[in-house]
Amino acid sequence: MSMTDPIADMLTRIRNACGSKHRRVDMPASKMKVEIAKILMDNAYIKDFKVLDTEEGRKLLRVYLKYAAGEQPVIRELKRVSTPGLRRYVGVSEIPRIRNGLGMAILSTSQGLMTDRQARQARTGGELLAVVW
């Protein structure tokens, strides 16, 4: 059976693993999931990620989670905004500021995936995929 929203599945797996204090989480890999993991790593929300090959010949994305002092997860909230049933597109002037700049929005633009700061700097809007703080 095919999955209707693999991005939401990825975010839910990371959210559940953080809540259970796991060190890493595995999921099926895709180009978009790898790009989202790269954005999360560049903005210090996760430690690292790797793309592994399984015995069946499929790709597996392994995300290493990051915790602050006192074993508190760095990712406090991870939420999908645009869903397959209701896409959410924003212009450059409508890009939200998450937690007054402490959080981050992930956008899919014509120039690829980027954060809200990068999209404002590039003066481009796009599909608002997720918000993280």
For 22-91, the DSSP string reads -SEEEEE--HHHHHHHHHHHHTTSEEEEEEEE-TTS-EEEEEEE-B-GGG-BS---EEE-S-SSS--EE-
Domain boundaries, the chain: 6-132
The pLDDT tens digits of the residues spanning 7-42 come to 999 999 999 999 999 999 999 999 999 999 999 999
Mean pLDDT of 63-85: 94
CATH number of 6-132: 3.30.1490.10
Q: What is the pLDDT of residue 2?
A: 65
